A and B are shown apart, each in its own frame.
Chain A
Amino acid sequence: MSTAITEPVVPYDEVIAEFDPVLGLEVHVELGTATKMFCGCPTEFGAEPNTQTCPTCLGLPGSLPVVNAIGVESAIRIGLALNCSIAEWCRFARKNYFYPDMPKNFQTSQYDEPICFNGYLDVEVETDDGMRTFRVEIERAHMEEDTGKTSHQGGATGRIHGADYSLVDYNRAGIPLIEIVTKPITGTGKYAPEVAKAYVTALREILRGLGVSDVKMEQGSLRCDANVSLRPSPESPLGTRTETKNVNSLRSVERSVRYEMTRQAAILRAGNKVMQETRHWHEDTGVTTSGRPKSDADDYRYFPEPDLVPIAPSREWVEQLRAALPENPSVLRARVQTAWGISDFEMMAVVKAGALELVAATVAAGADQAAARKWWVGEVTRIANERGVELVDLPITPVDIARVEAMVGAGALNDKLARQVIEAVLAGEGSPDDVVATRGLAVVSDDGPLLEAIDAALAEAPDVAEKILSGKLAAAGAIVGAVMKATRGQADAARVRELLLERLGVAE
């Protein structure tokens, strides 16, 4: 149960009028390597507790780490995709502190020698003046290891406070993490929340494209901590920042940044100081609550890790990796937009829905780009939003959509039926072909039943026939509608109209 105390907030437009926000985003990516960062234990999700540990990741006396080559390769590829410089020589460092989820009571990480540094990522945000590009500068990306998982027992909420004891599973301990840290993000003004969300979205897209992680925020393979501070104006020195954790979705990134801005504004307006602390975001109530005081003076007593030797990636290796990088998403976007011949606005709709890859794959599977866009950005996105999931998590694939379109093209389905098929596939009823067969949703292509239905409809409404015959062709719509109803939508409306007019001997 989150705290009952509601902190005062300032309306957002007033926040913007009085303050200039500065952001800092720290993203942890859990790599999808087969083994952990410093040992050969598997990284499969969901195994029985403590079945994926060894002396090294358990921190047993005498154990030693050995670096996973793919961990290093992934770090470099991520750095290159973010336009970073790659260190010519760097070391791991020990970050020393005590916590039960850390088997060695130090984390093997990197300190003043990150493997990647000084990069940037351009993100596009919709503003009042149209699309604007913000350049988010990246301070560093470095390698480190994940901790074990604690579950707190005995309390009411499963959270730390009030628990009697905890149980620790070290399966996750040692899984490779890449930490990506931005430089202070300034100049976003009222778009700070959108920029934050756009950055994490774009970053996620790049990481997925690289194939280094499955980047699922809800599952924890992509974690975001949002740092927010306010200052009176862009010329003022930086204000005190808070760090917000438990930001488990793109939506939460935007909402938590916005909330923190309004909360901090209320404090500053009252003439008080913002406390430098870690806060916890609650998606259900839309607020952050106080965690523990954050101290820049947390003394981790960093020193170079003596059990690991330095990493010196050769320039040849770095260039090989650079050459093999997948196409940068923004370059891909420009190329695709030209190929499809669509407007910026149409393109933006696809990007905003996070559907670019899916649409492209649907086109590759044979569908027309407009149709592919229509379905993904329209119907499927609507359902994704309803269910609160990402497009990729829905049980429908580009191949499915392409198949549905193919059936429409062949006249086996009309638009309305296609929609029904898609909804059924999303409901888990099987592939499009399965659904059509099971539900018998095929368009009636035999004229016989259609003519019967037309005659029946005409019999019901003799005055309509007269109207048509007297030249009011629009009246045909009523008959067509009646026929569609009678055939439960499984008639091709255009064909029905054709047959009707033929029947009445009226030319179009």
Chain B
Amino acid sequence: MSDTPSITRADVAHLASLARIDLPPESLDHYAEQLAVILGAVAQVAEVAADDIPPMSHPLPLVNVFRTDEVRPSLTSDEALSGAPSVESDRFRVPRILDEA
């Protein structure tokens, strides 16, 4: 891949939206530039001939790690809620949700 992939302002806005980060509009161009440069460097991986090479998702050759179906102590609700920015009726209070999942 010889061309540096281009990242536009709109691309950055889209990525930021997928990643739920409200970037200030004035930062979009700067991020676009930086991401394009980084992407250009990492796109180098395409130069490696790897068609019949299996991808490696886990460094250790472990399989079948399970636990038994036995109850273990939970946190108390106080502990669970201890870091919460907002609590009501022992539940996490969150701002209004717009869409169904």
Interface set of A (CB-CB < 8 Å, partner B): 33-35, 39-42, 48-55, 58, 60, 66-72, 89, 91, 97-102, 105, 147, 150-152, 154, 160, 163-170, 278, 291-292, 299, 301, 303-304, 306, 308-313
B residues near A97, Cβ cutoff 8 Å = 101
Q: Is the CB of A51 within 8 A of B65?
A: no
Q: Is the CB of A55 within 8 A of B75?
A: yes
For chain B, which range describes its interface: under 10, 10 to 19, 20 to 34, or 35 or more residues?
A: 35 or more
How many residue-residue contacts, CB under 8 A, span A and B?
140
Is chain A's interface secondary structure helix, strand, loop, or mixed overall? loop
Complex-state Cα separation, A269 to B51, whole angstroms: 49
Contact string against A for B residues 38-65, beta-carbon threshold 8 Å, 1 for contact and 0 otherwise:
0000000000000000000110101111
Count chain B CB atoms within 10 A of each CB in A102, A150, A151, A313 and give the residue with the most: A150
Q: Given A53-B80, A98-B20, A160-B99, answer yes or no on A35-B71 (Cβ-Cβ < 8 Å).
A: yes
Interface set of B (CB-CB < 8 Å, partner A): 18, 20, 57-58, 60, 62-77, 80-81, 83, 88-101
Complex-state Cα separation, A49 to B77, whole angstroms: 7
Count chain A CB atoms within 10 A of each CB in B63, B69, B83 and give the residue with the most: B69
Q: Is the CB of A299 within 8 A of B18?
A: yes
CB < 8 Å neighbour of A309 from B60, B70, B73, B101: B60
Complex-state Cα separation, A204 to B28, whole angstroms: 52
Complex-state Cα separation, A52 to B77, whole angstroms: 8
Q: Is the CB of B64 within 8 A of A48?
A: no
Q: Given A165-B93, A312-B64, answer yes or no on A291-B100 (Cβ-Cβ < 8 Å).
A: yes
Q: Is the CB of A67 within 8 A of B74?
A: no
CB < 8 Å neighbour of B77 from A41, A50, A72, A312: A50
Complex-state Cα separation, A160 to B88, whole angstroms: 18
Complex-state Cα separation, A105 to B19, whole angstroms: 10
B residues near A34, Cβ cutoff 8 Å = 69-71
Q: Given A66-B65, A309-B62, A309-B63, answer yes or no on A166-B96 (Cβ-Cβ < 8 Å).
A: yes
Q: How far is the CB of A137 from chain B (nearest CB, A)?
A: 28
Complex-state Cα separation, A151 to B97, whole angstroms: 10
Q: How far is the CB of A505 from chain B (nearest CB, A)?
A: 76
